[in-house]
A and B are shown apart, each in its own frame.
Chain A
Amino acid sequence: MNKQMSIVAKHTYKTRIKKKSFWWLLLTPLAPVLVGGIVGLAVAAFSSNNTADIAVIAPEEVRQAIQHEEKSLNLSVSSDQNEDKARKSLEKETIDGVLIVKDNEGTLLTQPKSEEIKTENLQNLLSKITVSKKAQKYKLTQAQVQDLQTPFKLTAKVQDKNASKDSDAADTVKSMLTMAVGVLVFIIVSIYASIIGNEIANEKSSRIMETLLAASSAKAQYYGKIVGVAGLLLTQIGIYAVVGTIGTVVTMRASWYASLAPYLSALTPGFWIFTLLFVLISTASYLVLSAITASLVNDQSQISQAMTPISMLALIPYIVAISSSSTSGQNLFIQALSYVPLMGQSIMPSQLANNYATWWQASLSLVLALLALVLLLHFGLALYKKNVLSYSEENITKQLLAGILPHKKHKRHK
């Protein structure tokens, strides 16, 4: 990047980043996440200790065994060993339960406001104690006891022609992800296409373009603006990445994370990097298209007219991404579209996550998007140079076509 280009990029970046509107744009999607996180932390901080206090009325060796496993059972054994006293404490709700064990039977008494006691784990422990006592009674060896206690080994395998290793739950997450990526990409593309469109339209309508082009070149202005706006996008992604990482680290400490983890098995670092690259390349392509159409406007009032074709184009993969989350992603049309530059960014990540596309196919789609970006940058510069000082009363679409088709000349203001 030459010096002038970097000056233009820096100016574009600094001007926008100082504006409140950019920060609102950046913080708005984060707000529900932040509020949710703060509320979750507050609830966790102020909620009572969820370890259940129970009185164990049982033979001493059983009582000791339970006390030994307090942590894994998430229990706290009270000192109370008198059944009547323990029942009274339960009535007064000072303890969460009373476990009464006699011979091979046991009863667990609880009250409606008791903390949760995992009876399955408690039953497993009591079964083990009973088996040990019976083994002693029948004079079994340690090896025989071990053999008796070895559980039956059952291996579950899911047969899937797409070689998916994920559960139904993970597939549900992927389906939601398909939709989320489509929506996110559409929002990002719309926002940044609009930012660069407004930048250029503002310069054209305020007639500062001649001053800028006298000081630099159309090439420096064109590439500098694209780089500057791409820098804003990277800033936004960077901030989200930091917030996301902090959120993940905090979440991983929470007790409920373990139950959530299987659902997130599709979101590997490789997947995130691929999606990020695809979004960056595609957004850059849309930035180029916006720069070209914005270079055709005469004043700010025409900017929405100029941005309409870009929005329409971005809407196609968005609609496809939404519909493919509810229908089969193996549809031939959807698969073909996932390779088309300016379309694939919303479709291919979900194809990849759902194992409808291999990493090779996904990489091919990414390379095609990159090639399209290079070509767009090259031809876009020629169109930008041609239009940026031209003030025509003709319809923007007609001007655009005239620019693409060299044999058709359009009227110049001067």
Chain B
Amino acid sequence: MIKISHLNKSFGDHQAVSDLSFTIDPGEVLGLIGQNGAGKTTTFRMILDFIKADFGSITWNDKPITDTMRQQIGFLPEERGLYQKETIENQVIYLAELHGMNKQQARKELQDWLNKLQVVGKPTDLVQTLSKGNAQKIQMILALIFKPKFIILDEPFSGLDPINAAIFMDTIKELKKQGAMIIFSSHNMDNVTEISDHLIMLKNGRTVLQGEVQAIRESFGRIRLYVEAPDYTPADYQAMDGVERVIKQGAGYLLYLANEAAGYKIFDQVTQNGYIPAFSQQPPTLAEIFKTEVMNHE
């Protein structure tokens, strides 16, 4: 288990991370969200000992992380970087050896990973010939080829098209199933919602939200209502009790409610003539919560 306790870091007068605490158990995924400069990368850098924390502790199975243990952390940095003039194979083998793998094993695993992540290219291709997406996949392979038990992924989906993002998501889910402890940061809330067990939202280094993803969403109440009722106009919805905002969405309307209970009355009203195609009352999305929280803490 990874345990972070009361972590603090400041650069001069700027408080980058303030009193951050969390745990990650085997087979668990923790999503770290926040605006740029919220303290996500600084947190990762402290775990990897690139920078020292001013205060607080970082342990792995209740022991401080040693250099040997750190060698077993898989890390995908936010700023991608590869040796452009080297072949995929040389590069991957070099990094895998540094992580303690032997050459033959790394060569074999590389081929499996190239297939799994659907990389367009051969092991003997130079990195500079790869597309951005494929180079990113190579970077992901560097982080995962040695089967790490603890994985840190800084913005793994940035720059990827939906197909490749889905491949990365599937990979993360598989690693989770295999018992890896995963922490990742992302600006894509849909991805965070889909793969995270727990979530931490940082704002200027401070923790503004923390907990299980669904519980966080539920804590804001089911105030988001999607309705498809053919006889109702936006003005009809706006006139209903408890409706704060009406937005046209696809074949229906998205209503933002003042409280969860308002949904019951609206349901009775729109179904008084019988069947309607859609009525879905949900908690706010993570993206909506993110926006709200960011604005609340401005």
The docked-state distance in angstroms from the alpha carbon of A203 to that of B86 is: 12
- Among A4, A214, A220, contact of B73 (Cβ-Cβ < 8 Å): A214
* Proximity string of chain A (203-222) to chain B, C-beta cutoff 8 Å, 1 when within and 0 when not: 10011111111111100100
Whether the Cβ atoms of A208 and B82 lie closer than 8 Å is yes
**A7 is an interface residue with CB less than 8 A from chain B:** yes
**A11 is an interface residue with CB less than 8 A from chain B:** yes
B116-167, CB < 8 A from A: 139, 142-143
Whether the Cβ atoms of A214 and B41 lie closer than 8 Å is no
The docked-state distance in angstroms from the alpha carbon of A139 to that of B94 is: 93
Residue tally, chain A, CB below 8 Å to B = 24
Whether the Cβ atoms of A210 and B81 lie closer than 8 Å is yes
- Given the interface pairs A15-B86, A206-B82, A211-B95, the reply to whether A216 lies near B77 with Cβ below 8 Å is no
Distance between B44 CB and nearest chain A CB, rounded to angstroms: 9
A412 CB contacts on chain B under 8 angstroms: 11
- Given the interface pairs A11-B94, A216-B71, the reply to whether A206 lies near B11 with Cβ below 8 Å is no
Distance between B91 CB and nearest chain A CB, rounded to angstroms: 9
**B67 is an interface residue with CB less than 8 A from chain A:** yes
Query: Which residue on A lies nearest to B96, using beta carbons?
Result: A215
* Proximity string of chain B (22-60) to chain A, C-beta cutoff 8 Å, 1 when within and 0 when not: 000000000000000000011001001011000000000
- Among A210, A215, A409, contact of B50 (Cβ-Cβ < 8 Å): A210
**B194 is an interface residue with CB less than 8 A from chain A:** no
Interface centre among A15, A212, A215, A217, by most B CB within 10 Å? Answer: A215
A376-414, CB < 8 A from B: 389, 409, 412, 414
Query: Which residue on B lies nearest to A414, using beta carbons?
Result: B41
The docked-state distance in angstroms from the alpha carbon of A210 to that of B86 is: 18
- Among A7, A208, A214, contact of B83 (Cβ-Cβ < 8 Å): A208
- Given the interface pairs A7-B94, A412-B11, the reply to whether A208 lies near B42 with Cβ below 8 Å is no
A130-162, CB < 8 A from B: none
**B80 is an interface residue with CB less than 8 A from chain A:** yes
Whether the Cβ atoms of B42 and A414 lie closer than 8 Å is yes
**B79 is an interface residue with CB less than 8 A from chain A:** yes
- Among A210, A215, A389, contact of B71 (Cβ-Cβ < 8 Å): A215
The docked-state distance in angstroms from the alpha carbon of A11 to that of B142 is: 16
- Given the interface pairs A389-B50, A409-B12, A412-B11, the reply to whether A215 lies near B95 with Cβ below 8 Å is yes
Interface centre among A207, A208, A213, A216, by most B CB within 10 Å? Answer: A208
Distance between B204 CB and nearest chain A CB, rounded to angstroms: 14
A203-251, CB < 8 A from B: 203, 206-217, 220
Main secondary structure of the interface of A (DSSP, over half): helix
A1-30, CB < 8 A from B: 4, 7-8, 11, 15
- Among A206, A212, A213, contact of B84 (Cβ-Cβ < 8 Å): A206
Whether the Cβ atoms of A210 and B98 lie closer than 8 Å is no
**B237 is an interface residue with CB less than 8 A from chain A:** no
Whether the Cβ atoms of B81 and A206 lie closer than 8 Å is yes
Interface centre among B41, B50, B142, by most A CB within 10 Å? Answer: B50
Whether the Cβ atoms of B80 and A207 lie closer than 8 Å is yes
A208 CB contacts on chain B under 8 angstroms: 81-83
Query: Which residue on A lies nearest to B142, using beta carbons?
Result: A211
Distance between A67 CB and nearest chain B CB, rounded to angstroms: 72
A15 CB contacts on chain B under 8 angstroms: 86
Whether the Cβ atoms of B94 and A213 lie closer than 8 Å is no
Whether the Cβ atoms of B98 and A4 lie closer than 8 Å is yes
B198 CB contacts on chain A under 8 angstroms: none
Whether the Cβ atoms of A7 and B97 lie closer than 8 Å is yes
**B173 is an interface residue with CB less than 8 A from chain A:** no
- Given the interface pairs A215-B98, A412-B11, the reply to whether A210 lies near B82 with Cβ below 8 Å is no
- Given the interface pairs A215-B99, A389-B50, A409-B12, the reply to whether A210 lies near B79 with Cβ below 8 Å is yes
Query: Which residue on B lies nearest to A206, using beta carbons?
Result: B81
B83 CB contacts on chain A under 8 angstroms: 202-203, 206, 208
B95 CB contacts on chain A under 8 angstroms: 211-212, 215
Query: Which residue on B lies nearest to A409, using beta carbons?
Result: B12
B71 CB contacts on chain A under 8 angstroms: 4, 215-216
Whether the Cβ atoms of B79 and A207 lie closer than 8 Å is yes
Whether the Cβ atoms of B48 and A214 lie closer than 8 Å is yes
The docked-state distance in angstroms from the alpha carbon of A295 to that of B85 is: 20
A82-113, CB < 8 A from B: none
Whether the Cβ atoms of A212 and B98 lie closer than 8 Å is yes
A163-214, CB < 8 A from B: 202-203, 206-214
A206 CB contacts on chain B under 8 angstroms: 81-84
Whether the Cβ atoms of B82 and A216 lie closer than 8 Å is no
A211 CB contacts on chain B under 8 angstroms: 75, 77, 81, 95, 139, 142-143
Q: Could you write out 30 A-B pairs with CB less than 8 Å apart? A: A4-B71, A7-B94, A7-B97, A7-B98, A15-B86, A202-B83, A203-B81, A206-B81, A206-B82, A206-B83, A207-B81, A208-B83, A210-B50, A210-B75, A210-B79, A210-B81, A211-B77, A211-B139, A211-B142, A212-B95, A213-B48, A213-B50, A214-B70, A215-B71, A215-B99, A217-B67, A220-B98, A389-B50, A412-B11, A414-B42
Q: List 10 A-B pairs, minimum CB-CB distance, nearest first.
A: A207-B81, A208-B81, A214-B75, A215-B98, A210-B77, A207-B79, A206-B81, A216-B98, A7-B97, A11-B94
Q: A7-B94, A206-B82, A206-B83 are in contact. List 10 more A-B contacts (CB 8 A).
A: A4-B71, A209-B81, A210-B50, A211-B143, A212-B95, A214-B48, A216-B71, A220-B98, A409-B12, A414-B42
